[in-house]
A and B are shown apart, each in its own frame.
With several copies, the nearest count.
Chain A
Amino acid sequence: MNQQELQALRAMIVAHKRWDTLFGVIGILALMLGLMTFAALFADMAINGLGRISVDFLTSFPSRRAANAGILSAWVGSVLVMLVTAFAAVPLGVAAGVYLEEYAPKNWITDIIEINVSNLAGVPSIIYGLLALGLFVYTFGLGQSILTAGLTLALLILPVVIVATREAIRSIPQIIREGAYACGATTWQVVSDHIVPYSSAGILTGVIIGMARAIGETAPIITVGALTFIAFLPTMPFTGELPAGPFDWLFAPFTVMPIQMFNWTSRPEAAFLSNAAAAGFILVLMTLAMNGLAIWLRYRLRKNIKW
C-alpha cells in the first residue's frame, strides 16, 4: 500500500469515526433524557410532598383533614401484600422457568406454555383483577384480603419472573450441568443444588422489575376489594389476642399506597394533592429500597459465581 492510498484510507477512517462520535453523543443524550425524566418526576414529588413527610405522616391513619392524614395503613398494607406476592410469585415463577428450561421436551405443549407466558405479560392488569375476583374471592373463598391481593399481583408479575428465570438459567454453562450429572446427580439434584442457586442473581432482577410494577398497581387491587379508609392494622402474628393465629393477617382487610394516592389525587382540596405527592415520593423510595436491596443481594451472589 503506497502513501497515497494510505492517505485516502486515513481520511475515510476519520469520516467513519465522526459517526461514532455523533452516536456516542446521541446515546448519552438519550440516556440523559431517560434519567432526567426520572429525576424530574422524583424531584417534583419531593418538592410537592416534602412538606408533608414526617414521622406523623408515616404513623397516622387516613383522615378527612389533609394535614392529619397519614399512610400507616397504606404502607403496612403495601409491605404485607408485597410479601405475599413475593412468596407466591417467586417459587411459582422459578418452578415454571426451571420446568421450561430443564425438563420440558420440545413439543407443542411447551410451545403453548411459552406463548401463554409472553401473552400474559400483555394482559391489562384490570383483567387480572376481574379474574381474581371471580377465582380467589368467590370460587376459593379467600375473601377481600391481603392474601387475595398478593396472589393477584403474583399472577400479574409471574411472566416477568418466568422470563428472567429462564434467561438466568440459560446463562449457566452446559459444562456445569454435565459436571453435576457426571457425579451421578438426578435431574432434581442438579436443579436444586446448582441451577437454582446459580441463577438466583438473574431471578432477582426479574423479581425486582416485577415487584416494582406490582407495588404501583391499583386497578386490580381495587377490583378484588381493597379498601380506602381503614384505621387499623392487620393483627400481627403473636401480638393479637390469643385466638389469633400467626396467619390471621393474611385474611385481614387492607389498603395499599397507590390506592391512597389515587384517592388523594382526586380530592378537591389542594392539600390532599401534596399528600399524594408525598405518598408517591415514599412509594418510589420503597421501590428504591427494594431495588437497592436486590441490587446489593445480586452483587453478593454474583461475586461468588464465576464460570
Chain B
Amino acid sequence: MNAMTDRYETLLPLKAEARNLSFYYGNFQALKNINMPIYEKKVTSLIGPSGCGKSTYLRCFNRMHDLYPGNRYEGAIDFHPDHTDLLSKKVDPIEVRMRISMVFQKPNPFPKSIYENVAYGLRVRGENARSVIDDKVEAALRGAALWGEVKDRLKELGANLSGGQQQRLCIARALATDPELMLFDEPTSALDPIATASIEELITELKERVTILIVTHNMQQAARISDYTAYMYIGEMVEFGVTDQIFIKPKRKETEDYITGRFG
C-alpha cells in the first residue's frame, strides 16, 4: 500500500523524506515500507493507536535505535539540504543527533543544575567559552518560554521544577544547539492540562524557526497544533495530508474510523 502517490501536491521545501522505510526489532517488523515527506518549518504530527509504531518511526530520525543491539533499518530517510541518507552506515549517528534534537514523553532533565541542563548540548560540542554558553543558554530558555520563571535560579536542580517546567527545560535543552529538526514523542502526555497548553503554544511559536515532527496520542492536540498529519496503523502509514483535510474528510476509511472512534 502506498498512500503517498500524491505527496508532491504542495510545492513547499522539504526538510526530510522517508523512502521505503522499514524497521525491524530483531525479527519483528515494526515499520512497513513507509514513505512520507516532512516540510520545512511546519509541524507534522503522527497519530495512531497505541503500538502502531509512532515512536519507532520518530526514533529512526535521530538513529536512537542504534543504541540497542539487534535493530535494523531498511530504506532511507533523505535529509535536506544535504541530500544525505540519515540511515546510511557511513553517516555518523552522533552528527545526526547534533542536528536533529529530541524531546521525550516524560520530562527527563539531568540531575544537574538548570543551567547545566541547557548547556549540555553545547558542552558536548566542545564549546567551553563561558560567555558563548551564557548567551545560548539564555536564548534557549527564552525560546522555551522559561527564562522569566528560572532566570534567578539557574543553579538549582532541574528536578526541582514542576512537570510542565521540566518539559520546557527539556525543550530548551533541545533548542540550545540550533537544531534543524526537532522530534517530540508525546511531549505532553505526562503533563496536566495547563502545562499541556503552554507546551502546545510553545510548539506553535517554534515552527517559525525549526521543523517539527511530533507524535501524539491525542487527536485534538494534533488538530490544534499541526500543519500536516500522518495516520499510522500497525506499522503502516495509512494516510498523510494537510491536517484540516485529514480531520474533516479523510481519504481512507481506516482513518475515518479511527478519528471518529470506531476502528477495531
- Kindly identify, within residues 151 to 189 of chain A, every residue whose CB is under 8 Å from any CB belonging to chain B: 173, 175-186, 189
**Judging by beta carbons under 8 Å apart, are A178 and B104 in contact?**
yes
**Judging by beta carbons under 8 Å apart, are B121 and A184 in contact?**
yes
B94 contacts which chain A residues (CB < 8 A)?
Answer: 13, 16-17, 184-186
Q: Is B207 an interface residue (CB 8 A)?
A: no
- Identify A304's interface contact among B62, B157, B174, CB under 8 A: B157
- Identify A198's interface contact among B111, B177, B180, CB under 8 A: B111
Give, as a whole number of angstroms, the nearest-CB distance from A230 to chain B. Answer: 46
A64 contacts which chain B residues (CB < 8 A)?
Answer: none
Q: Is B159 an interface residue (CB 8 A)?
A: yes
Give chain B's interface residue range (CB within 8 Å of chain A).
Answer: 20 to 34
**Judging by beta carbons under 8 Å apart, are B108 and A175 in contact?**
yes
- Identify A179's interface contact among B98, B123, B125, B170, CB under 8 A: B170
**Judging by beta carbons under 8 Å apart, are B97 and A183 in contact?**
yes
B124 contacts which chain A residues (CB < 8 A)?
Answer: 183-186, 189, 193
Given contacts A1-B99, A10-B95, A306-B159, contact A181 B110 (CB under 8 A): no
A193 contacts which chain B residues (CB < 8 A)?
Answer: 120, 123-124
Q: Is A106 an interface residue (CB 8 A)?
A: yes
Q: Is A112 an interface residue (CB 8 A)?
A: no
**Judging by beta carbons under 8 Å apart, are B106 and A16 in contact?**
no
Q: Is B101 an interface residue (CB 8 A)?
A: yes
- Kindly identify, within residues 248 to 285 of chain A, every residue whose CB is under 8 Å from any CB belonging to chain B: none
Give, as a whole number of angstroms, the nearest-CB distance from B141 to chain A. Answer: 16
A173 contacts which chain B residues (CB < 8 A)?
Answer: 108
Give, as a whole number of angstroms, the nearest-CB distance from A118 to chain B. Answer: 22
Give, as a whole number of angstroms, the nearest-CB distance from A204 to chain B. Answer: 16
**Judging by beta carbons under 8 Å apart, are B111 and A184 in contact?**
no
Complex Cα distance, B51 from A275, in Å, reads 65
**Most chain B CB atoms below 10 A, which of A16, A106, A180, A189:** A180
B59 closest partner in A (C-beta):
A178
**Judging by beta carbons under 8 Å apart, are B110 and A180 in contact?**
yes
- Identify A12's interface contact among B126, B173, B177, CB under 8 A: B126
- Identify B82's interface contact among A1, A180, A181, A198, CB under 8 A: A1
**Most chain B CB atoms below 10 A, which of A1, A173, A175, A304:** A1
Complex Cα distance, B105 from A10, in Å, reads 30
**Judging by beta carbons under 8 Å apart, are B120 and A180 in contact?**
yes
B197 contacts which chain A residues (CB < 8 A)?
Answer: none
Complex Cα distance, B119 from A230, in Å, reads 55
**Judging by beta carbons under 8 Å apart, are A9 and B98 in contact?**
yes
Give, as a whole number of angstroms, the nearest-CB distance from A106 to chain B. Answer: 7
B120 contacts which chain A residues (CB < 8 A)?
Answer: 180, 183, 185, 193
Complex Cα distance, B84 from A202, in Å, reads 43
Other 18 A-B pairs with CB < 8 A, given A182-B62, A183-B124: A1-B180, A106-B69, A173-B108, A176-B110, A178-B67, A178-B102, A181-B67, A182-B64, A182-B97, A182-B102, A183-B173, A184-B121, A184-B125, A185-B120, A186-B124, A189-B124, A193-B123, A305-B111
Sample of 17 A–B contacts (CB below 8 Å): A1-B82, A9-B98, A13-B94, A13-B98, A175-B106, A178-B64, A179-B108, A179-B173, A180-B110, A181-B64, A181-B97, A182-B97, A184-B124, A184-B125, A198-B111, A304-B111, A306-B111
7 tightest Cβ-Cβ pairs between the two chains A and B = A184-B98, A182-B102, A306-B159, A184-B97, A183-B121, A305-B111, A179-B108
Identify the A interface with B (CB < 8 A). 1, 3, 6, 9-10, 12-13, 15-17, 105-106, 173, 175-186, 189, 193-194, 198, 304-307
